[in-house]
């Protein structure tokens, strides 16, 4: 019986439908090495524009992008969400009456701080060494910003008839408060009306699951976040005499209870499809395991729970990230608290999740909500998703693309509730070592990735934006 159910069915890998626009004719007319070279130079200069957040000073970065657009006859506007926090909007209008809502190329201009003395090269240098362009923002996310800019320039230079507006949207302050995207969306949404968005979120990873295989997770959803202060109350007293009704003891018990909760891991949804796709590409015995629903729900689920990264993707996390209270050794305080950073699946309601936590802990515990936000998701069955997936793996035999839920959130989480279908995908492929540059030391992006990524992004955008000739 077990054998029968094992053999009964294999989940279907995503079969990409044929492209809605054949991009090959236009692709052939472009001098790609030259385009890659130009994008690399733009990124070098963009890295040199200091937009470290805090302060941000993104207006500088917006002006840098703006002057390149202007030189090619693409008009732009810069709107400041607060002094020096510039947000750029540039638009290539549809040729004739638009057939579809705009496609928006989104990036953030700000970068996180860098501990210069711990880097091998100056984080603001944009120097090229050993095939890499070095600098803060090359990965997060001026590299993508430069590729998006080049996509605009190519659409314009090639004089491509567009069936929809294509908008470049470079915003301030993603790294600290998300002020830029909120301001732009709240103030200019009538004007933007992005139907599709591409932004950061997913990217290609070499050798992550299997040696020699490159996986391209495309983020179609983001988890929500619930930040809580979990406060325990009890009887105050003297440190010399432990008693059973003290606040610190209640807090420890509550943490233990929450840690022992049923994790209810979910392999359903986007990530499940991605695992199936990897199985399809992998083939063999392990491919069979990955594609079999029963084995996926047992063997694979267990493996995913053992790895902190995949574990975070399949459960609602409850993460103690801080403590507070008075800290005199001989005094038992009447209140102490823990800070919890909880991340919930996109379909979980934050209030219901808080009620669930409350139901588990004792009456000596209360929660104060620091912030709570719902996650968001976009459809997988969508032409732009397919175009991104198609381009992700192009020219690579041992690569697979598929949908995932991001465990962190990006500016996309703000645009999805307004109606945008947003996909997180930077079309580069990184090694584990490259990944350490994200918010870390020695952030760098290979020149090869800049060349390939620019081409992939342009072709994906072209497929869903170009007007078919009559
Ligand atoms: Zn970022």
Distance of alpha carbon 426 from alpha carbon 202, whole angstroms = 6
In 3D, which of 169, 164, 166, 182 has the Cα closest to residue 81?
182
For residues 158 and 289, state if they share a domain: no
For residues 238 and 361, state if they share a domain: yes
- Per-residue confidence band for 8, with pLDDT thresholds at 50, 70 and 90: low
Distance of alpha carbon 323 from alpha carbon 321, whole angstroms = 7
For residues 182 and 259, state if they share a domain: no
Say how many Å lie between the CA of residue 203 and the centre of ligand 1. 12
Mean pLDDT in the chain? 93
- Count of CB atoms within 10 A of residue 146's CB? 30
Q: 98 lies in a domain? A: yes
Q: 3 lies in a domain? A: no
The number of distinct structural domains making up the chain is: 2
What is the percent of the chain where pLDDT is above 90?
A: 79
pLDDT at 3: 45
Q: 207 lies in a domain? A: yes
Q: 362 lies in a domain? A: yes
Q: 176 lies in a domain? A: yes
Of 373, 388, 403, the last residue of a domain is: 373
The answer to which of 38-52, 113-127, 162-176, 257-271 has the lowest mean pLDDT is: 257-271
For residues 261 and 343, state if they share a domain: yes
For residues 200 and 238, state if they share a domain: no
Cβ-based neighbours of 289, under 8 Å, separated by 6 or more: 279, 295, 296, 299, 300
Say how many Å lie between the CA of residue 411 and the centre of ligand 1. 9
Q: What is the mean pLDDT of residues 285-291?
A: 87
Q: Is the pLDDT of residue 183 over 90?
A: yes
Say how many Å lie between the CA of residue 174 and the centre of ligand 1. 7
Say how many Å lie between the CA of residue 236 and the centre of ligand 1. 45
**Between β-strands 103-108 and 166-171, what pairing exists: parallel, antiparallel or unpaired?**
parallel
Determine which helix (DSSP H) or strand (DSSP E) holds 428, and give its type and residue range: strand 421-430
- Per-residue confidence band for 417, with pLDDT thresholds at 50, 70 and 90: very high
Of 350, 373, 396, the last residue of a domain is: 373
Of 373, 406, 427, the last residue of a domain is: 373
Q: Is the pLDDT of residue 127 over 70?
A: yes
Distance of alpha carbon 254 from alpha carbon 365, whole angstroms = 8
In 3D, which of 163, 63, 51 has the Cα closest to residue 113?
51
pTM recorded for the entire structure: 0.90
Distance of alpha carbon 214 from alpha carbon 401, whole angstroms = 9
Q: What is the mean pLDDT of residues 317-346?
A: 95
Say how many Å lie between the CA of residue 426 and the centre of ligand 1. 11
Q: 355 lies in a domain? A: yes
Q: 201 lies in a domain? A: yes
Distance of alpha carbon 228 from alpha carbon 372, whole angstroms = 8
Q: What is the DSSP string of 203-241?
A: EEEETSSSTT-EEEEEEEEE-EEEEEEEEEE---EETTS
For residues 195 and 184, state if they share a domain: yes
The answer to which of 173-187, 189-203, 276-290 has the lowest mean pLDDT is: 276-290
For residues 369 and 380, state if they share a domain: no
Say how many Å lie between the CA of residue 380 and the centre of ligand 1. 22
Q: Is the pLDDT of residue 7 over 80?
A: no
Distance of alpha carbon 163 from alpha carbon 96, whole angstroms = 8
CATH of the domain at 277: 3.30.70.360
Distance of alpha carbon 118 from alpha carbon 114, whole angstroms = 9
Say how many Å lie between the CA of residue 107 and the centre of ligand 1. 8
pLDDT at 59: 98
Q: 167 lies in a domain? A: yes
CATH of the domain at 38: 3.40.630.10
Domain with 446, as residue range(s), is 24-220+376-465
Q: Within 13 Å, how many C-alpha atoms sit on residue 93's CB side?
A: 7
Q: Is the pLDDT of residue 2 over 50?
A: no
Q: What is the pLDDT of residues 374-394, one digit of tens each?
A: 999 999 999 999 999 999 999
For residues 201 and 59, state if they share a domain: yes
For residues 359 and 314, state if they share a domain: yes
For residues 243 and 367, state if they share a domain: yes
Q: Is the pLDDT of residue 201 over 80?
A: yes
Say how many Å lie between the CA of residue 354 and the centre of ligand 1. 28
For residues 253 and 212, state if they share a domain: no
Q: What is the mean pLDDT of residues 22-41?
A: 97
CA distances from 210 to 167, 213, 268, 281, 406 (A): 37, 6, 22, 11, 21
pLDDT at 470: 61
For residues 36 and 177, state if they share a domain: yes
């Amino acid at each position: 019986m077990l054998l029968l159910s094992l053999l009964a069915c294999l989940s279907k890998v995503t079969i990409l439908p044929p492209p809605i626009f054949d991009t090959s004719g236009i692709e052939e007319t472009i001098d790609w090495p030259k385009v890659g070279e130009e994008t690399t130079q733009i990124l070098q200069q963009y890295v040199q524009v200091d937009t470290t957040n805090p302060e941000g000073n993104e207006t500088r970065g917006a002006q840098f992008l703006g002057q390149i657009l202007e030189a090619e006859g693409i008009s732009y506007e810069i709107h400041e969400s607060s002094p020096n926090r510039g947000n750029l909007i540039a638009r290539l209008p549809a040729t004739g009456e638009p057939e579809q809502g705009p496609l928006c190329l989104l990036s953030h201009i700000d970068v996180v701080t860098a501990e210069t003395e711990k880097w091998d090269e100056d984080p603001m240098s944009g120097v090229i060494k050993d095939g890499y362009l070095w600098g803060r923002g090359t990965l997060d996310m001026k590299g993508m910003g430069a590729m998006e800019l080049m996509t605009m320039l190519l659409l314009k230079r090639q004089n491509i008839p567009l069936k929809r507006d294509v908008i470049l949207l470079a915003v301030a302050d993603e790294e600290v408060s998300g002020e830029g995207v909120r301001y732009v969306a709240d103030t200019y949404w009538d004007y933007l009306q992005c139907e599709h968005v591409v932004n950061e979120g997913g990217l290609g990873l070499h050798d992550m699951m299997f040696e020699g295989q490159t996986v391209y997770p495309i983020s179609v959803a983001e988890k929500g976040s619930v930040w809580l202060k979990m406060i325990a109350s009890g009887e105050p007293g003297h440190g010399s005499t432990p008693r059973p009704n003290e606040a610190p003891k209640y807090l420890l018990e509550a943490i233990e209870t929450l840690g022992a909760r049923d994790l209810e891991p979910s392999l359903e949804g986007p990530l499940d499809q991605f695992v199936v796709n990897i199985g399809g590409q992998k083939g063999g015995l392990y491919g069979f395991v990955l594609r079999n629903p029963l084995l996926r729900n047992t063997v694979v689920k267990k493996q995913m729970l053992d790895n902190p990264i995949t574990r975070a993707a399949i459960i609602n996390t409850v993460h103690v990230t801080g403590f507070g209270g008075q800290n005199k050794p001989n005094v038992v305080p009447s209140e102490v608290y823990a800070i919890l950073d909880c991340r919930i699946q996109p379909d979980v309601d934050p209030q219901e999740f808080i009620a669930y936590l409350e139901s588990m802990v004792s009456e000596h515990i209360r929660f104060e909500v620091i912030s709570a936000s719902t996650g968001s998701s976009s459809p997988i069955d969508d032409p732009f998703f397919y175009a991104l997936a198609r381009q992700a793996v192009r020219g690579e035999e041992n690569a697979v693309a598929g949908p995932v839920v991001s465990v962190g959130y990006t500016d996309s989480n703000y645009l999805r509730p307004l109606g945008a279908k947003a996909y997180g995908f930077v079309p580069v492929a990184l090694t584990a070592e490259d990944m350490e540059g994200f918010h870390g030391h020695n952030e760098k992006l290979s020149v090869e990735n800049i060349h390939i990524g620019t081409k992939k992004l342009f072709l994906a955008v072209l497929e869903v934006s170009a007007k078919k000739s009559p």
